[in-house]
């Protein structure tokens, strides 16, 4: 060995065939090593052991202690040039830690030093972790076919601000379900929030999505589409790849059972389908018509339903009041007749002091929100037109639920009966279902058929004598009838005629009036009627009759109409016989 101590320079081109042992500092302006020549550097425990030229590997090798080596391959042997940091052996090809190829590829090796696990592909400008053939900018790969381990080929991101740490991972697995797919997982809370399965289905809140998008939560679930400064929309598109007719629907499932479906049919109608009844509940057709209970709506709204007997609880259409206001609370429908507001009609129910006291109103609006009431049905079922309450002195028309009809007008004709076609009946009168008379027209003649003129009267003491029967001959009294505050200028009281040939005959008794508390008699005066004849008295058709002085009539004995004449017999047909033997025959009354 050649030793050089305490010298600062060795002359250039010095031939050192052995070993140069330097204890100080060496400055080499140019140093050439022959094959397999070694420079040993032993200045400390962490210093290089030696530097030598390896002919077999065409490389310059730096050996450090603990079997750490750096290999500088010059490519003089026609292999790829390489810079290698190795360990655990004398041959760097079997125990590599870092390799840099002449193309710029960089490999970091696993613990055995044989397989690259972090690889930079310089030509593709891509980084592979677990693969030397990265197909994307960053390519993560782990495991092998049929073996575990690949599920960890992901990334974990941790924010140390919180305690515990806020950690999230993205891995190619679905924890607890399958090694296929991709998941985004909250590692801090051990919760998988989003997955993509092997079929391309997306799950949010579930690791086993059953369709393209499956959203699930532990309790209630909500989806928000938020467009802070513009419109928000949700689009369902069907048939984007063909010209056929497809539908688009949204299904509503309770537990695992389908309940409702809404969406567009293949015929461009929009429907609501009820799985509970296995029937379509509503649809909007292509013309914009709405059908409820029908698939072929006529008009803008068509509600179809089987008839039922429950009426109010199961109607075809129900308008419900969620709050009430006495006397002015209204529930109804409006019909606009203009594009301007407050023109048209409203119909609906008006609450009185309770739900039981309500009326149904028809109101016309002419530039008025409150409008003018034209007709109502009150709480008693009375129909009122032009008035809001029943009454004989209030103008308007009323048809009461009891059957009474009142027409009242201030100072003009209240009733007009018109027949514009053929002559015939204008008004028919019936009793107990049988027609008893008519008012008819023939040309310019109006006839009252099957009736007579009558008036109200009372007995002298205002009593009710039920022994007076139909057809009894009555006579006039001087005293007038009184009806409380009601004016009476012409109706006098009467009595049963007790004078034979009575010239003061008033007519014949018809019946007692039971419509009020007065003991009023209905007395027939002129026209068709029946008259009472005493037992044993015979009459002939055409006989003129007078009072017999006992409430019956008898022939007067001549054909001259006199003041005592009360009637003319029109038929000898006996319509009724009383217990005392008196009987009734038809006649024409002349007591006027």
CB-count burial class (<10 Å; 0-12, 13-18, 19+) for 435 = exposed
Residues 208, 175: Cα–Cα separation, whole Å: 10
Q: pLDDT at position 57, please?
A: 58
- The reported pLDDT for the residue numbered 313 is 76
pLDDT at 507: 95
Closest by Cα among 80, 75, 70, 138 to 105: 80
DSSP 369-426: SS-EEEEEE-TTS-EEES-SS--TTSSEEEE-TTS-EEEE-SSS--------SSSEEE
pLDDT at 25: 57
Of 464, 498, 459, nearest in space to 479 by CA: 459
- Enter the pTM of the model: 0.56
**pLDDT attached to residue 239:** 82
Answer whether the bond into residue 18 is a cis peptide, omega within 30°.
Answer: no
Q: What is the pLDDT of residue 164?
A: 87
Tokens of 404: 């009474």
One pLDDT digit (tens) per residue for the chain, 592 residues:
444 444 444 555 555 555 555 555 555 555 555 555 555 555 444 445 566 666 665 566 666 666 666 767 665 555 677 788 877 655 555 688 888 988 899 999 988 888 899 999 999 999 999 899 999 999 998 888 777 677 788 899 999 998 888 999 998 888 888 888 899 999 899 999 999 998 999 999 999 998 999 998 888 888 888 899 999 998 888 888 887 788 889 999 898 899 999 999 988 899 999 999 999 999 999 999 999 989 899 999 898 888 887 777 778 788 888 888 888 888 999 999 999 999 999 999 999 888 888 999 999 999 999 999 999 999 999 999 999 999 999 999 999 999 999 999 999 999 999 999 999 999 998 989 999 888 999 998 988 887 889 999 999 999 999 999 999 999 999 999 998 888 899 999 999 999 999 999 999 999 999 888 889 999 999 999 999 999 999 999 999 999 999 999 999 999 999 999 999 999 999 999 999 999 999 999 996 6
At residue 60, the pLDDT reads 66
pLDDT at 179: 80
Residue of 384, 404, 379 lying closest to 394 (CA atoms): 384
From CA 60, how far away is CA 82, in angstroms rounded?
Answer: 11
DSSP secondary structure code for residue 81 in this structure: P
**Domain spanning 452-590, CATH architecture:** Beta Barrel (2.40)
């Amino acid at each position: 060995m050649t030793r050089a101590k305490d010298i600062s320079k060795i002359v250039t081109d010095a031939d050192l065939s052995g070993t140069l042992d330097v204890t100080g500092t060496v400055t080499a302006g140019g140093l050439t090593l022959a094959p397999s020549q070694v420079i040993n550097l032993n200045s400390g425990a962490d210093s290089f052991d030696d530097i030598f030229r390896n002919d077999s590997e065409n490389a310059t090798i730096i050996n450090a202690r603990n079997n750490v080596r750096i290999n500088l391959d010059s490519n003089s042997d026609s292999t790829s040039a390489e810079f290698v940091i190795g360990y655990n052996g004398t041959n760097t090809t079997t125990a590599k830690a870092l390799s840099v190829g002449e193309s710029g590829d960089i490999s970091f090796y696993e613990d055995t030093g044989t397989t690259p696990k972090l690889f930079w592909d310089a030509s593709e400008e891509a980084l592979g972790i677990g693969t030397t053939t990265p197909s994307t900018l960053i390519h993560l790969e782990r495991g092998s076919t049929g073996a575990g381990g690949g599920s960890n080929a992901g990334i974990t991101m941790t924010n140390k601000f919180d305690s515990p740490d806020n950690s999230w991972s993205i891995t190619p697995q679905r924890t607890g379900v399958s090694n296929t797919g991709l998941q985004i997982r909250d590692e801090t809370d051990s919760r998988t929030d989003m997955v993509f399965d092997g079929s391309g289905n997306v799950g949010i809140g579930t690791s086993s999505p059953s369709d393209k998008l499956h959203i699930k939560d532990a309790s209630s679930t909500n989806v928000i589409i938020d467009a802070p400064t513009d419109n928000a929309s949700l689009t369902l598109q069907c048939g984007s790849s063909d010209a056929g007719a497809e539908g688009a629907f949204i299904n509503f499932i309770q537990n695992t059972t389908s309940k409702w479906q809404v969406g567009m049919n293949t015929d461009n109608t929009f429907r609501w389908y009820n799985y509970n009844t296995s029937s379509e509940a509503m649809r909007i057709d292509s013309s914009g018509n709405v059908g409820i209970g029908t698939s072929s709506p006529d008009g803008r709204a068509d509600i179809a339903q089987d008839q039922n007997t429950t009426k109010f609880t199961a109607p075809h259409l129900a308008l419900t009041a969620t709050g009430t206001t006495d006397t002015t609370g209204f529930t109804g429908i409006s019909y606009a007749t203009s594009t301007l507001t407050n023109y048209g009609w409203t119909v609906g129910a008006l609450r009185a002091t309770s739900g039981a006291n309500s009326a149904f109103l028809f109101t016309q609006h002419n530039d008025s929100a409150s409008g003018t009431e034209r007709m109502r049905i009150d709480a008693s079922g009375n129909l009122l037109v032009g008035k809001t309450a029943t009454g004989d002195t209030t103008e308007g028309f009323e048809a009461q639920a009891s059957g009474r009809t009142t027409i009242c007008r201030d100072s003009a004709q209240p009733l007009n009966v018109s027949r514009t076609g053929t002559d015939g009946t204008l008004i028919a009168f019936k009793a107990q279902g049988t027609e008893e008379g008519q008012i008819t027209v023939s040309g310019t003649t109006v006839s009252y058929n099957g009736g007579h003129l009558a008036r109200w009267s009372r007995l002298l003491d205002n009593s009710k004598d039920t022994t007076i029967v139909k057809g009894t001959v009555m006579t006039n009294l001087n005293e007038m009838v009184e009806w409380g505050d009601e004016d009476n200028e012409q109706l006098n009281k009467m009595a049963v005629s007790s004078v034979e040939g009575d010239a003061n005959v008033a007519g014949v008794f018809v019946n007692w009036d039971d419509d009020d508390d007065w003991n009023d008699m209905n007395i027939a005066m002129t026209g068709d009627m029946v008259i009472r004849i005493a037992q044993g008295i015979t009459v002939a058709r055409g006989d003129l009759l007078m009072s017999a002085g006992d409430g019956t009539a008898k022939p007067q004995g001549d054909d001259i109409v006199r003041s005592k004449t009360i009637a003319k017999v029109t038929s000898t047909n006996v319509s009724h016989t009383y217990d005392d033997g008196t009987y009734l025959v038809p006649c024409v009354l002349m007591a006027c």
